[in-house]
Every structure is written in C-alpha cells, then in structure tokens.
Amino acid sequence: MQLKFSKWHGCGNDFVLVNGFNENINDIQEHSAAICDRHFGVGADGVILTLPSKTCDFRMQIFNSDGTEAEMCGNGIRCFALDAYKSGLTDKLSFTVETKAGIMRPRLTADNKASVCVNMGEPVLAGEQIPVKGCGSEHIINKQITVDDNQFYITCVSMGNPHCVIFVDDIKKIDINKWGPVLEKYEIFPNKTNVEFVQVINRTHLRMRVWERGAAITLACGTGACASLVASVLNDLCDRKARLELDGGDLAIAWDETDNNVYMTGPAKKVFEGIYYSE
Ligand SMILES: N[C@H](CCC[C@H](N)C(=O)O)C(=O)O
C-alpha cells in the first residue's frame, strides 16, 4: 500500500491526515496502528480521513494510535478543517463536518491564520448516554469511586466521546501513567473513557493533562478540554469561558449559555507531507 498523507498537529496532539477523495483508504483502519508507530511508521496520536458526505460538506473519521475508531477528535478537526481549506477541497471559511459524534461546525478566521473555532455541539451529561454503567439518566458530578483502594471524585461528560474528569490540587503530583490506564478501562465505562486531570488555577484558567482512550498520554485533547470546562462549570470551579492550558499549548473553550453548545478555539499546524509505504 502507498498512501499520500500530510502531518498536522493541534497543540502537539498529532495526526496523519489522509485525503479519502484521492487515496485508496479501503483497509486503513487495520494499518492505522502501524502508521502511528513512532519508530516503524510515520508516528502520530491518530489517523484522520477526509471523506465525502451525503449530508454535510465533509465526513471525518478518526482512528486512535491503537487502531480503535473514536467518535470525534477536537484537535484533529481543527487540522482537518484547515487542511480542507488549504488543499482547495473547499473555499468556504465555515462548513459542516459529519462525524460519529454528530455534525461539527469549524470556522476559519478570514485572514487564514492557523486558528480555528469549532462548534463542538452540546455536552452529554446523562450517565447512560456517556456511557457510564449503573447510573441511568443521572448526571455524574463529583461522584466518589474507589479503584484499587484509591478514592477518586469523578465528573463525566461526553462530547460524542466519553470523558472522566478528575480535579486535583497539583497536576504535577499525579501519576498519569499509573492511573490513566486503570481508569480508562474501569468497569463502569463500557466503551472505556478518556481521563482528564484538572488543576483549577483560577475561574478563567484551567491546567489539564490527559490520558486518552486508545492513545495513552497526549500533549493535548480538544474534546477533553471541552469536557474539562463543562465539568468545571458543573462543579462551580470556573466561569463558562476559560483558557485550557495543556502540555502542548492552550485552547480557548466556552460553553454558551444561550445555545448550550461548546466552542473550542485553537491552533492547527501542518508540519510535513509524505508517502507511507506498507508491505
Ligand atoms: N482518544 C479519543 C479520540 C481523540 C480525541 C482527542 N485527540 C481530541 O483532540 O479530542 C477517544 O478515543 O475518544
């Protein structure tokens, strides 16, 4: 297989983007883990496909570096949108993208600097829809769980993909490599979950680190930043608009009170193009 791709990142969360209009992408999911391998492949947190859609301007598919398909990717869709515009697939500055998490609406800034605002839709809070087992339609806000004799207080939010948000006093003291995988696969999460650890700096500044479902620690997670903002508002720890400071950069997240949609604004950067060869 030969595959033309472009390599992008959003706050250091990096992706191999493949244009499904031109490339043969039939069995790409089974190759996605190999493509993402940082020694034997291109190296990335995920593979993102740009595809036609019957209902929207485009369709986006996202595969994690372990080969699993996710419903949505916040950093990825900013890269997706800027790539679609810069590669001439569209001349529109705002358009619709069909995803497994619903229709997303990226908007590019007129002077085409590499900042993209995305309407990420409404957060889902009912336990059974996130999903979190055994909670019915209850919202999971600051709920105590005990995992391997350790207590955690979790707030769960879906942005189309599941997130478990945990507030900590000092982000530097959390062993994410230990607790991330344990919580990702914890029994109450039937589809597993992304895990965000959040330190509240003040009511308009959150510091977040993430263990991503299917990708382990990444430098940033856009859907996770949205979920972290929503969880912080639900716990009255921050305002509805805040700076999310991630390992790889900052995102501006706002949960609009009038339309209940979450808006994410942040950078997207193209690093290189190439051809991937697989035996
Ligand atoms: N690992 C995530 C998908 C990528 C999301 C993240 N990279 C983002 O920017 O939102 C999941 O399985 O739900």
Helix axes 74-86, 222-234, angle to 10 degrees: 130
C-alpha 220 – ligand 1 centre gap (Å)? 9
Collapsing DSSP to helix, strand or coil, 210 comes out as: strand
Mutating to test ligand 1, I would choose from 221, 229, 269 the residue with most ligand atoms within 8 A of its C-beta, which is 221
Instruction: Please list the helix, strand and coil fractions of the chain in percent, rounded to the nearest 5, in that order.
Output: 20, 40, 40
C-alpha 260 – ligand 1 centre gap (Å)? 21
Cα 10 versus chain centre, distance: 10
Alpha helices by DSSP H, the chain: 28-36, 74-86, 176-184, 222-234
Residue of minimum CA distance from atom 4 in ligand 1? 73
- Flag whether the ipTM exceeds 0.95: yes
Peptide bond into 106 cis (omega under 30): no
C-alpha 68 – ligand 1 centre gap (Å)? 11
Instruction: Note down pLDDT in tens along the chain; length 279 residues.
Output: 899 999 999 999 999 999 999 898 888 999 999 999 999 999 999 999 999 999 999 999 999 999 999 999 999 999 999 999 999 999 999 999 999 999 999 999 877 667 999 999 999 999 999 999 999 999 999 999 999 999 999 999 999 999 999 999 999 999 999 999 999 999 999 999 999 999 999 999 999 999 999 999 999 999 999 999 999 999 999 999 999 999 999 999 999 999 999 999 999 999 999 999 987
Can you say whether residue 67 is alpha, beta or left, with left for phi > 0 and alpha for psi between -120 and 50 degrees? left
Q: Which of 38, 8, 191 is nearest to 116 (CA)?
A: 8
- Annotated binding residues: 13, 64, 74-75, 161, 194, 212-213, 222-223
What DSSP string runs through 40-102?
TSS--SEEEEEE--SSSSEEEEEEETTS-EES--HHHHHHHHHHHHHTTS---SB--EEETTE
Is residue 98 a contact partner of residue 60, using CB atoms and an 8 Å limit? yes
Mutating to test ligand 1, I would choose from 212, 219, 269 the residue with most ligand atoms within 8 A of its C-beta, which is 212
Give catalytic residue positions.
73, 221
Q: Is the CB of 193 under 6 A from ligand 1?
A: no
C-alpha 147 – ligand 1 centre gap (Å)? 23
Residues 241-257 as b or e (16 or more Cβ within 10 Å = b)? ebbbbbbbbbbbbbbee
Q: Domains in the chain, ordered, with CATH?
A: 2-121+267-277 (3.10.310.10), 127-260 (3.10.310.10)
Q: Give residue 112's pLDDT.
A: 64
